[in-house]
Amino acid sequence: MDTEASPFESSEMLATFLTSTPLLSMSWSLCDRANTMPSQGFVAEQMGSVGHLAFSGVQLGSGPDPTSGRNLEPLVTATNGLFFPLEHQFDGEEGGGEEEGKEPVLVHAGFLRIFLSVKSNPNFQNRMLNMIQNSKSIVIAGHGIGGTVAGLCALWLLSYLQSISSNISVLCITFGSPLLGNESLSRAILREGWSGNFCHVVSKHDVFPRLFFAPLAPLNPQLHSLLQFWQLSMTSPPLALLAEKLLDEGKSQIFRTVLASLEGLAKAEQGKNVTCGFWPFGNYFFCSEDGAICNDNATFIVKMMHSLLLNSSPSCSIEDHLKYGYYVEKASLQVLTKTSFPPAELPESSYEAGVALALQSSGIACQDESVARPAKNCLKLARRMGRTPNLNCANLAIKLSKITPYRAEIEWYKATCDQSDAQMGYYDSFKQRGASKRDFKVNMNRRAKWVNGSQFYMLLVEPLDIAEYYRTGMHRKKGHYISNGRERRYKIFERWWKERPIKEEEKKTRSTFASSTQDTCFWARVEEARERLDNVRNETDPRNQALLLSSLDDFSKYASGLVERKEVSKDVVARNSSYCMWVRDYEELKSQYVQLHP
């Protein structure tokens, strides 16, 4: 099967698709309306089965200037479970030794506060409820700061819809919005499969979406007047002229700082972690006078932000934030017409030609080698990285089918043990094995192959791992299996299994013993019980003894319950299995105990 990357570059085609739809112009016109009536904070409209919502980029009376400082705050503590799918750390990440996994999901504190205050507004709640009831799909948009509120709103809505298992589609479109959160947020969104629900429109020069890459604390006063200038330009243009005068010097300071920080990030080697706190997520739609491209690779986005800003100027970078209406209209007209490309520069390979066209659309001239080359390179990088996870996912089913024959081999091993004369069951045979050839082969298959079947694999193989653990005496070194020795894959599989939706008919009772024991840690529990049994014998303090005895009693009840419900496989009740031997020992001990303490 083809594992190569596609021979075509489709980020421009995706942008064309989006531009050909009415979504961008519709969202922009609502954002524009929201900007001119800041007192309300948002505008909502229902168009057939599509609900539209836009947040104003002008936020009044929201206390301290939201851009001041770059304070990030944990999403979990501040929001009381509103964004629950983003909160829980994936089990696979804990204790994996990966440092990035450690940072919690952080978002900009100021934006979060604005969103929470909008959300508590009863008017907003009503509109939202109405929209969810009447829509098949919902577009949430915003310009500038409005975009970050839209982003949070979309994240909240996605979380909420997930909790009620609704299949309403959500699309968040932002125009020139600053970054919202850190890399953990970006990764959590990827993990939930939500990156396709966000599209951030960024014009060629606009400095606002690039602002948070830079350390801003020293620029606070300048930023304040910049924000004021933008807001006044949207609400009362004559006053904006005054504000612009105030800004003057600040313009180039801001521009230089942002450009320098972006330079540092863009030049950073792949893999080296140069963090700036904030990190992009979702798709970015870069638009220029010559067209647009759309891509969701974060590294590419950062480099593109840098490349495009190189040819800009301080005043351009600030005015561009107010020109989204122009860009949207231009793009929507342009997409229908043909743009000619000078034939001499056209590479013959489909992929190279696609890259050249994409760069042309994003407004980077191919003649400008110093800018075009890095941009080209990172577009190619994005291609490779962008495709692999999807391909992996698609090929998983096929890999799984190649593993099943090995599973059958293990199953066979279990079956022969169950029937053998030793009457020990496969758990104990494996634990006490000599150098039998088949035993060895089973061991090889279990370890050598990367195995990915989930529940079945776990049911069958985990007991063997437990046997190996106790056979090699690991429990004396590291402690008991369940608390100290259990491999992470089993914990993850168990979670998958427990989280699956349970259907009614699955709750039937069994008529014969299960083919594999349903509690995969059963044998580990037996081992612990055996140890405790020895401890009881050696224990002199009667209080401790009673404690141990009661825990043994608990286990005995639990285990016999499993046996009664036939949730264990035959090997558990084989006459000489560890479990049966334990039961005999336990009964003996109990009778002794009763004699001693009548």
Partner 1 sequence: MAVFRPGESIGFREQVVMKLCSIDMKTHQSAGKLYVCEKIRNSSELVFSFPGSWSVSDWFIRSPFGEVKVDLELFPSLKHIGLNEIATVNEAFLNRFRAILANTQFKKEVRTAVTDGKPVVFTGHSLGGPIAILATIWFLEVYIRPDPNKVAPLCVTFGSPLVGDRIVSHALRRENWSRYFINFVLRYDIVPRVSLTPLSFVEQQLQRILNFFNPRSPFYMQENVGEASGFYVTVMRNALSVVSHAACKIMGSTNLLLDTLSNFVELSPYTPLGTYVFCTGNGKLVAIKNPDAVLQLLFYTSQSNSEAVALNSLKDHLNYKHELQECLKKQSVTCLDDNHLEALPLSNDVTVEINMVLNDLGLSTRARLCLRAAGELEKQKKSNQKAIDIKMEDIERGLGKLQGYKKRCQHKVGYYDAFKLSKDKEDFDANVKRLELAGIWDEIIEMLKRNELPDEFEGRKAWIEIGTRYRRLVEPLDIANYYRHLKNEDTGPYMVRGRPKRYKCTQRWREHAERMSNESLESCFWAEVEELCIKSGNPSIRETILQLKKRVEQQIRNGDLDDDVFLKGSTFDKLLKEHSLTNLDQNDIFRGSWS
Minimum CB separation from partner 1 for residue 212, in Å? 23
CB of 53 to partner 1, least distance (A): 13
Distances (CA, A) of 256 to 60, 219, 228, 248, 309: 29, 11, 20, 14, 10
Q: Please give the Cα distance from 6 to 4 (Å, whole number).
A: 6
DSSP 48-78: TTEEEEEE-S---S-SS-TTSS--EEEHHHH
Is-contact 150 174, C-beta < 8 A?
yes
Q: Which of residues 494-513 bind partner 1 (CB under 8 A)?
A: 505-506, 508, 510-512
| Selected range binding partner 1 among 99-107, 136-144, 207-215, 443-451, rule: CB under 8 A | 136-144
242 binds partner 1 (CB under 8 A): no
What's the closest the beta carbon of residue 416 comes to partner 1, in angstroms?
9
Within 70-99, the residues that bind partner 1 by CB under 8 A are none
Phi, psi of 434 (to 5 degrees): -90, -130
Ranges within 418-477 binding partner 1 (CB under 8 A): none
Nearer to partner 1, 141 or 227 (CB): 141
Q: Minimal distance in Å, beta carbon 17 to partner 1?
A: 4
Closest distance of CB 158 from partner 1, Å: 11
Nearest distance from residue 156's CB to partner 1, in Å? 17
Nearer to partner 1, 233 or 283 (CB): 283
> Which of 271, 343, 542, 598 contacts partner 1 by CB under 8 A?
343
Contact with partner 1 (CB under 8 A) among 81, 97, 122, 193: 193
Q: Is the dihedral of CA 206, 212, 217, 220 positive or negative?
A: positive
Choose among 324, 396, 272: nearest CA to 35: 324
Which positions from 354 through 413 interact with partner 1, judged by CB under 8 A? Answer: 354, 357, 386-387, 390, 394, 397-398, 401-402, 404-405, 407-409, 411-412
Question: How would you classify the pairing of strands 291-295 and 283-288?
Answer: antiparallel
Q: Does 13 bind partner 1 (CB under 8 A)?
A: yes
CA–CA dist 214, 370 (Å, integer): 23
CA 148 to chain centre: 19
**Helix, strand, coil distribution of the chain in percent, nearest 5:** 65, 10, 30
Q: Which of 326, 341, 440, 496 binds partner 1 (CB under 8 A)?
A: 341
Which CB, 316 or 356, lies closer to partner 1?
356
For position 44 contacting partner 1 by CB under 8 A, the verdict is: no
Integer Cα distance of 360 and 356 in angstroms? 6
* Euclidean distance between CA atoms 576 and 554, whole angstroms: 22
Which of these, 392, 390, 391, 381, lies nearest to 9 by C-alpha position?
381
The torsion defined by the Cα of 517, 518, 519 and 523, in degrees rounded to 10, comes to 10
Nearer to partner 1, 336 or 594 (CB): 336
Q: Which is nearer to partner 1, 351 or 555 (CB)?
A: 351
Residue number with CB closer to partner 1 (123 or 392): 392
Q: Does 137 bind partner 1 (CB under 8 A)?
A: yes
How far apart are the two ends of the chain, measured CA to CA in Å?
73
Q: Are 176 and 317 in contact (CB under 8 A)?
A: no
User: Measured from the CB atom, is 258 or 292 closer to partner 1?
Assistant: 292
SS3 letters for 92-160? Answer: HHCCCCCCHHHCCCEEEHHHHHHHHHHHCCHHHHHHHHHHHHHCCEEEEEEECHHHHHHHHHHHHHHHH
Site string for partner 1, 278-317 (x = CB under 8 A): -----x----------xxx---------------------
For partner 1, the binding residues in 148-187 under the rule CB under 8 A are 169-171
Least separation in angstroms between residue 459's CB and partner 1 is: 11
Q: What residues contact 28, with CB distance under 8 A and at least 6 apart?
A: 141, 143, 175, 324, 325, 328
The nearest distance, CB 137 to partner 1, in angstroms, is 5
Task: Give whichever of 353 and 589 is closer to partner 1, judged by the CB atom.
Answer: 353
- Binding segment for partner 1 (CB under 8 A), chosen from 132-140, 321-329, 494-502, 527-535, is 132-140
Q: Which stretch binds partner 1 (CB under 8 A): 3-11, 66-74, 363-371, 590-598?
A: 3-11
